Structure formats: structure tokens, C-alpha cells
Amino acid sequence: MYSRAYKSIVSLPPLLWVGLFLLLPYALMFAHSFWLVRDGFLVHQWNLQNYQKLATNPLYVEVLLRTMRIAASVTFLSLLLGYPLAYYLSFHAGARKELLYQLVIVPLWVSYLVRGYAWKTILGSDGVLNGFLQYFHLTHAPVSFLLYSPFAVVVMLTHIYTPFVFLPIYAALEHIPRPLVEASQDLGASQRATFLRVILPLSMPGLLAGATFAFVLSLGDFLAPLLVGGPSGTMIANIVQSLFGAAYDWPLGAAVSVCILLITVTLLFLTERLEKRWSFK
């Protein structure tokens, strides 16, 4: 139906653009990770030094493991908050469903930075939470371990990703045919059994999509640690950032980035397979 000319006119510009401004930059990142820096200059000499450094220096491994722990905590907590909320909205909210749905979405549009800043003002040692605790005489001196810790990073990121986790789960729950749930109840299954054997398995693709999203985006975050993390909350992307900044070792920074990228792509690939397996079709 569409002519050859039509097809080339619509395909060529985006292909060229994406090739030049996306494929080439990602390829450059890859290439840099195999180069090195000598006397402050980039040397285009192919080698595996950067990856060797990463594998042998315990600092990188330690920070990477901490990052994974933080990302896993964020994912777990976002699910813990997001799933019951989605379940409540889908099955128990009745007429208020639409309004409540919008209420979950609204904070998604509030700037990432602004939300991080808000947590900083809440958790700080002269912050709102400490003011609140002392006002009601729950504590007598400021609690200072709240801010500048991995805890603060987890709270901030959980706050940011809960709505993101909620969305695919809610969509999955809404797609469950209600007669299936009724059939399960009519046939004598308890509410618990209905949830565990009908609703939960059918919402699995949504749950996986949300979990992957929260994990992957937390894994590569460098702003939350800078805002509320302090030195003990440093994450792997902060290492990348300092290697590209003050430390000026782009090749090593690129190698760390490639690792983050590989972890991300592997996870996405795995969950895509899992989602297909759980899909209800």
C-alpha cells in the first residue's frame, strides 16, 4: 500500500538520527572502556586493564554490592507499598477508584529533585521530623542518623518508585477477568486461597515489570546519594561520576558504566522472558 519512496522518507531520518546521536555515543562508551589514560591524556590503545582493575579492587566490588543491596531494598519496599495499594484500588475502592488512581499519579509529575529536597528537609538533624519528635517530647536531642545514610537513600528512592511500581501492577490487576475471581470464591476457595492461586499469579507480569523498573533505575541513580546519602550512602553511579569528574579517568568510568549497562540489559532480558511465561493468554 505504501510506496518505496514513502517508506524511505519515513525510515531514513530517524534511522540516521538515532544512529548518529544514540548508537554512536553508546558505542563510544563501549570503546572508551577498552582504552586508557596516561599522564592525563586519553590513549587509544586497546586493552582490558580497566576491567581487571574493577575485578581486583575491593572498593568497586564493595560499592557495587552495596548498590545492589540498596536497589533490592527499594524494590522490596516499593512492592510492599505499591502492591497492596494497587490491590485495594482494583478490588475495594468502589466508586472512588478513578479519583484515587489520579491521586497516585500526581506525585509522579513532581520533580525528582524537589522530592529529594523535601526528604532532606524532613530527615535532617534540624529538620521537620526531628522538630516533630521534640515538639511532642518523644526525643530530647536531635536524631542525626536519619539523613546522610543508606537509609535516607532507600526512603527517598522508595518514595519515588512506589507510584512507578504501582502502575503496572494496577494495570495487571484491572485486566484480571472478574468472573475468574468469582468462580474461585463460588467453588469454595477462601479469600486467601483466591488471592494466592488466582489473583497473585495473574498479576505476576505487572509485578515483575514494576520490580524491574524500580531495581534498574535505583541501580543507576547518582543523585539520591549526593542529596541525602552522605559518604556511607555512595553508590556505583557516584563512582562513575567521580571518575568522569575530579578523578579524570574516563576509560575506567566507562568500564564501570558498561558493567551497569550489562547488569541492566541482562535483568531486562530475564524479566521479559519471565513475564512471557506468566502471561495469561
Q: Within 181-210, which residues bind other proteins (CB under 8 A)? A: 182, 185, 191, 209
Report the residue number, 56 or 131, with the smaller CB distance to other proteins.
Answer: 131
Residues 32-71 close enough to bind other proteins by CB under 8 A: 32
User: Which contiguous run of DSSP H or E holds residue 42?
Assistant: strand 41-43
Residue of 144, 162, 62 whose CA lies nearest to 107: 162
7 versus 197: smaller Cβ distance to other proteins: 7
Nearer Cβ to other proteins, position 149 or 212? 212
Residues 141-160 that bind other proteins (CB under 8 A): 159
Segment lying near other proteins (by CB under 8 A), choices 51-59, 61-69, 129-137, 143-151: 129-137
Cβ neighbours around 189 below 10 Å, total? 16
| Contacts made by residues 60-68, CB under 8 angstroms, sequence distance 24+ | 60/236, 60/239, 60/256, 63/234, 63/235, 63/236, 63/238, 63/239, 64/236, 64/259, 66/150, 66/234, 66/235, 67/219, 67/235, 67/236, 67/237, 68/219
Q: Are 169 and 81 in contact (CB under 8 A)?
A: no
Neighbours of 34 (CB within 10 A): 18
List CB contacts of 202: < 8 A, sequence separation 6 or more: 172, 175, 176, 180, 280
Q: Among 45-53, 61-69, 104-112, 144-152, which window interacts with other proteins (CB under 8 A)?
A: 104-112
Taking the least distance from each CB to other proteins, the nearer of 149 and 257 is 257
73 near other proteins, rule: CB under 8 A = no
Q: Does 28 bind other proteins (CB under 8 A)?
A: yes
The x, y and z cell numbers of residue 123, run together, are 530527615
Nearest residue (CB) to other proteins, 56 versus 60: 60
Q: Rounded to whole angstroms, how far apart are CA atoms 44 and 18?
A: 25
Output 56 or 174, the one with its CB closest to other proteins: 174
| Residue from the set 40, 46, 58, 126 that interacts with other proteins by CB under 8 A | 126
Among 127, 174, 198, 201, binds other proteins (CB under 8 A): 127
Of residues 231-270, which lie at the interface with other proteins (CB under 8 A)? Answer: 237, 240-241, 244, 250, 253-254, 257, 260-261, 264, 268
C-alpha span between 127 and 124 (Å, rounded): 4
CA–CA dist 227, 244 (Å, integer): 19
Binding residue (CB under 8 A) for other proteins from 44, 48, 57, 132: 132
Binding mask 161-180 for other proteins (x = CB under 8 A): -xx----x--x------xx-
Closest contact distance (angstroms) between CB of 13 and other proteins is 5
Q: What is the DSSP letter of 43?
A: E
- Record the cell numbers describing residue 76, joined without a space: 522490596
The answer to whether 115 contacts other proteins (rule: CB under 8 A) is yes
